[in-house]
Amino acid sequence: EMLRSLVLVGLVATVAGAGWTPKHAAELIKTAKAIGAPGKGILAADESTGTIAKRFASINVENSEANRQKYRQLLFKTPKIEEHISGVIMYEETLYQKSDEGTPFPDLLKSKGVITGIKVDTGVVELPGTHGETSTTGLDGLAKRCAKYYEAGARFAKWRAVLKIDEKTGCPSTLSMQENAWGLARYAAICQSEGLVPIVEPEILMDGPHSIEHCAKVTEEVLSYVYKALADNHVLLEGTMLKPNMVCPGSESSKACTTAEMAFHTVMTLRKAVPPAVPTICFLSGGQSEEEATLNLNAMNAITAVSKPWSLTFSYGRALQASCLKAWAGKDENIEKAKQVLLERAKANGEATLGKYAGGAGGADAAQKLFVKNYSY
């Protein structure tokens, strides 16, 4: 513990000597490292009201605030979930909801040692002059919102930028990469100024027929733009997390890849583009099945031939919740069963962060594809 404290002090002193330093630097560094703790990752429960409506429609449940509170409470009250989950991303409504006993959800999670996060972007809009590419909105008033969220108990934030691959039209365009990288960097700097660790999420969609090699090339280029923008905006990398896509073939590709190939291309791409100062990389699942997302994460962590200076973990929404939601089906009598399903999936992913997942958790339900074309939420 003393050594950890000395390292933390040393990091803060180092970044302070390099120029502008956020006033919350020590807390930011501590939070970013804690979320990447061995055997743990993030439960992304930040679906917007519109997106959760689609999830509930699949199990014939009304999209009411009461049902949204009941479902999120099921997730957060799962016994022993804290053994595998270090952080939870919430939608704004959820941040201010309470358990049936009157405990605010951030306090409920804090009592388990789980850190609360908050989705802060306000969605995407089309980027004029491009082939349907987008940029993310939400910078207006962000500092005030972040201060409010910090007061409510949040300690990290998420902002999703969305890019697409289309070799025929040249996507992602330079304009799209520059605009999304700059937006992520401005968001990150603002979050840090108010005490929130920013998850930097430049998601490259799986849509399309592209090869895994082309996805690797594009991912490296996008990340290069992102880290240049973060540097230009004086973002403290030690107090950030990266949420990237895994490097894989497009959803319409005629050439499938093995788990080992995906792991190799992803790790090698990250080694080229992500500075070692970044403590935690928490992957998005991108529409993979629950089992695929876990096996792929496990394969990356099982690689020992090259160094991986970051914690490689998960920030999964659908790939943690799909089977749990199906098991619950909106019925009170199914709540305990649904909690067990969630815990099993969380445990599997926790094992995958250590490269120790043997496979098979969740059975056939976990193998169902979750891909949605041009996914938004």
Note the pLDDT tens digit of each residue in 180-224: 999 999 999 999 999 999 999 999 999 999 999 999 999 999 999
Of residues 201, 238, 291, 351, which has the active-site annotation?
201
Exposed/middle/buried for residue 83 (C-beta within 10 Å: 0-12, 13-18, 19+): middle
119 tagged catalytic: no
pTM: 0.91
Per-residue pLDDT at 269: 98
Encode 38-66: b = buried (16+ Cβ within 10 Å), e = exposed: ebbbbbbbbbbeebbeebbeeeebeeeee
Note the pLDDT tens digit of each residue in 67-77: 999 999 999 99
201 tagged catalytic: yes
Point out the least confidently predicted range of 13-17, 54-58, 142-146, 232-236.
13-17
Closest Cα to residue 252, out of 209, 204, 206? 209
Both structure tokens of 10: 């040393």
- The model's confidence at residue 371, banded by pLDDT at 50, 70 and 90, is very low
Q: 329 near 61, Cβ under 8 Å?
A: yes
Closest Cα to residue 280, out of 46, 114, 38? 38
Note the pLDDT tens digit of each residue in 304-349: 999 999 999 999 999 999 999 999 999 999 999 999 999 999 999 9
Tell me the average pLDDT of the chain: 93
Q: 234 near 19, Cβ under 8 Å?
A: yes
Per-residue pLDDT, averaged over 258-277, amounts to: 97
Q: Given the DSSP bridges, would you call strands 197-204 and 154-163 parallel, antiparallel or unpaired?
A: parallel
Alpha-carbon gap, residue 350 to 344, rounded angstroms: 10
Q: 273 near 351, Cβ under 8 Å?
A: no
Q: Which residue has the tokens 């691959």?
A: 165
How close are the terminal C-alpha atoms of the chain, in Å? Answer: 40
Note the pLDDT tens digit of each residue in 216-234: 999 999 999 999 999 999 9
Alpha-carbon gap, residue 163 to 58, rounded angstroms: 27
Note the pLDDT tens digit of each residue in 342-357: 999 999 999 999 999 9
Of residues 30, 243, 339, 347, which has the active-site annotation?
243
